[in-house]
Amino acid sequence: MIVTISTTHQPTSDFTYLLHKHPDRFQTKDISFGKAHVFYPAFSEKEATMALLLDINAVDLSRRTQQNYAQSFQLDHYVNTRPYVSSSFLSTALSKVLGSALNGTCKDRPEIVHKALPLVVRLDTLSAKGGEAQIRRLFEPLGYELQLTPLPLDEQFPEWGLSTFYSLELKNTLPLQQLLQHLFVLLPVLDNNKHYFVNESEIEKLLSKGENWLDTHPEKEYITKRYLKYKKSYYQKALTELNPEESASIKNAEKEKLPSLHDQRHEMVADELKTRGIKSVIDLGCGSGKLLRHLIKMPQLEKIGGLEVSFRELEATKKRIYYENMSPKSQERLQLFQGALTYKDERIQSYEAGVLVEVIEHLDPSRLEALETVVFEYGNLSTIIITTPNREYNVLFENLPQDKFRHPDHRFEWTRKEFQDWGNTLAQKFDYEVDYQAIGEEHPLHGGPSQVAIFTKNAKPQAKQNK
Ligand code: SAH
């Protein structure tokens, strides 16, 4: 993974002083997950380019990750995109290798720290599940000119289509410190796959690196939530610090009704659909319509479905969303149907994304395979989001006996490893890429109370007609 920063500012020595890196020296620094090399592929009186080459050791990384789980061999621990993609690893490397520049210290030429320089950044591989729009909405408000090139899944097989990776060139005239701060915060936000446990100190990190720009960014809420991994108490604290007056009113409103874990699941799902620019989604096992209530408020969704096995729950959904009072157009946009997820159902196929919030654990394990076939094979969905409780967290529920599940209708509850083993097998079998996240306040040992798997179909299916 390589990133370069270039400037035509003269004298070019200003740039090297700011970076605290001598143009003639090739420097290598050991970091916990590999090596960072810094050098100048180009340096003259007229222009300078600094390169940071990050050599991540996937095997070491895997060993470290596996300490959190029971020891087991999984190929994707060793062969994955982590070494090649700009992510939180790059942010960590930037702070370790270019710490002085990132913190705005330059003893020899303090006057240039705040000087705007013409800068160009090139990132060879950037992961953005939300596509071009997601990258633009993060960088354009900060004045960057972007050149984005989507990368094919495999250069040798163009018919497989494009991946969710991009190469990116960013151009702007600004102080170097600010540019590094932007990269430090926004790269992990795009990638959404932090390599370390997010604890409270991340709030301070975000606020210090976001100083002078994050509070006025139109996407500050989105950036803050993703940077802090949707941990409600953390992002609320950060947003309050960023904008005390605005947050006071939010806080008062929230005092009246604290958002439950279940609300957090729905909020997370809605945000993910928004990020990905999804236009049609079906809520599979929609229950009494708690998620649908959020979805119908999202203008980007042209078509919404709710499928549920229980007639009574469907009636409750209709009441909750005032279905009978909706205009015919709104009723047409939202289709509710009774159906079982264990039987092939063609109606699912006309949606881009499918969501199962706390549904799988209600099925007998022997029926899971049928659900997998219906959703993953016949569903033809480009995005599938599945949430389920994390059993490891149950020890933290004081009133829950050890041998009991959280709900009497739950047929099983999985640990993080069990869920990820299941998800990885499905991803491989049905050709999806999968990411996992915790939902709710995470415990350092037991993880979050709930967990989510987000599946992205590898070869993009044809755009669906929203009939
Ligand atoms: N997703 C909802 C409800 C979760 S409760 C929410 O987030 O609030 C689980 C729901 O899955 C119940 O409403 C149950 O009726 C439904 N369900 C269970 N098995 C199902 C199946 N085989 N097909 C469709 N729905 C099912």
Distance 287 CA to ligand 1 centre (A): 5
Q: At what angle do helices 201-209 and 176-191 cross, to 10 degrees?
A: 130
Q: For a ligand 1 pocket test, name from 263, 359, 363, 364 the mutation site with the most ligand atoms within 8 angstroms of its C-beta.
A: 359
| Max CA separation in the chain (angstroms) | 75
State the pLDDT at residue 55. 87
State the pLDDT at residue 81. 65
| 387, β-bridge pairs | 357, 452
Residue holding tokens 């932090």? 194
Band of the pLDDT at 253, cuts 50, 70, 90?
very low
Rounded (5°) CA angle 173-184-29? 105
Helix/strand/coil percentages in the chain, nearest 5: 45, 25, 35
pLDDT tens digits along 5-42: 999 999 999 999 999 999 999 999 998 778 999 999 99
Q: Is 341 in the pocket of ligand 1 (CB under 6 A)?
A: yes
Kindly give the pairing relationship between strand 162-174 and strand 450-457.
unpaired
State the pLDDT at residue 78. 58
Distance (Å, rounded) from C-alpha 26 to C-alpha 16? Answer: 13
pLDDT tens digits along 204-250: 999 999 988 999 899 999 999 999 988 888 998 999 888 765 544 44
Distance 285 CA to ligand 1 centre (A): 4
Phi and psi at 7, nearest 5°, equal -145, 155
Q: For a ligand 1 pocket test, name from 309, 372, 412 the mutation site with the most ligand atoms within 8 angstroms of its C-beta.
A: 309
Nearest alpha carbon, ligand 1 atom 17: 285
pTM above 0.85, yes or no: no
- Find the mean pLDDT for residues 83-104: 84
Distance 392 CA to ligand 1 centre (A): 22
Q: Is 357 in the pocket of ligand 1 (CB under 6 A)?
A: yes
pLDDT tens digits along 389-416: 999 999 888 778 888 898 888 999 999 9
pLDDT tens digits along 116-136: 999 999 998 888 877 888 899
State the pLDDT at residue 259. 60
Q: Is 342 in the pocket of ligand 1 (CB under 6 A)?
A: yes
Q: For a ligand 1 pocket test, name from 265, 345, 362 the mutation site with the most ligand atoms within 8 angstroms of its C-beta.
A: 362
Distance (Å, rounded) from C-alpha 270 to C-alpha 272? Answer: 5
Distance 371 CA to ligand 1 centre (A): 12
Helix (H) or strand (E) holding 330: helix 328-333
Q: Is 375 in the pocket of ligand 1 (CB under 6 A)?
A: no
Distance (Å, rounded) from C-alpha 147 to C-alpha 420? Answer: 36
DSSP label of 435: E
Distance (Å, rounded) from C-alpha 351 to C-alpha 333? Answer: 12
Q: Is 290 in the pocket of ligand 1 (CB under 6 A)?
A: yes
Q: For a ligand 1 pocket test, name from 263, 267, 293, 308 the mutation site with the most ligand atoms within 8 angstroms of its C-beta.
A: 308
Nearest alpha carbon, ligand 1 atom 3: 287
> Token pair of 43, please?
């340096």
Q: Is 285 in the pocket of ligand 1 (CB under 6 A)?
A: yes
Nearest alpha carbon, ligand 1 atom 9: 359
Mean pLDDT score across all residues of the chain:
87
CB 51 within 8 A of CB 4: yes
Q: Is 308 in the pocket of ligand 1 (CB under 6 A)?
A: yes
Q: Is 370 in the pocket of ligand 1 (CB under 6 A)?
A: no
Nearest alpha carbon, ligand 1 atom 11: 285
Helix (H) or strand (E) holding 467: none
pLDDT tens digits along 189-206: 987 666 667 788 899 999
Distance 393 CA to ligand 1 centre (A): 22
Sign of the torsion formed by the C-alpha atoms of 402, 407, 413 and 419: negative
Distance (Å, rounded) from C-alpha 192 to C-alpha 135? Answer: 13
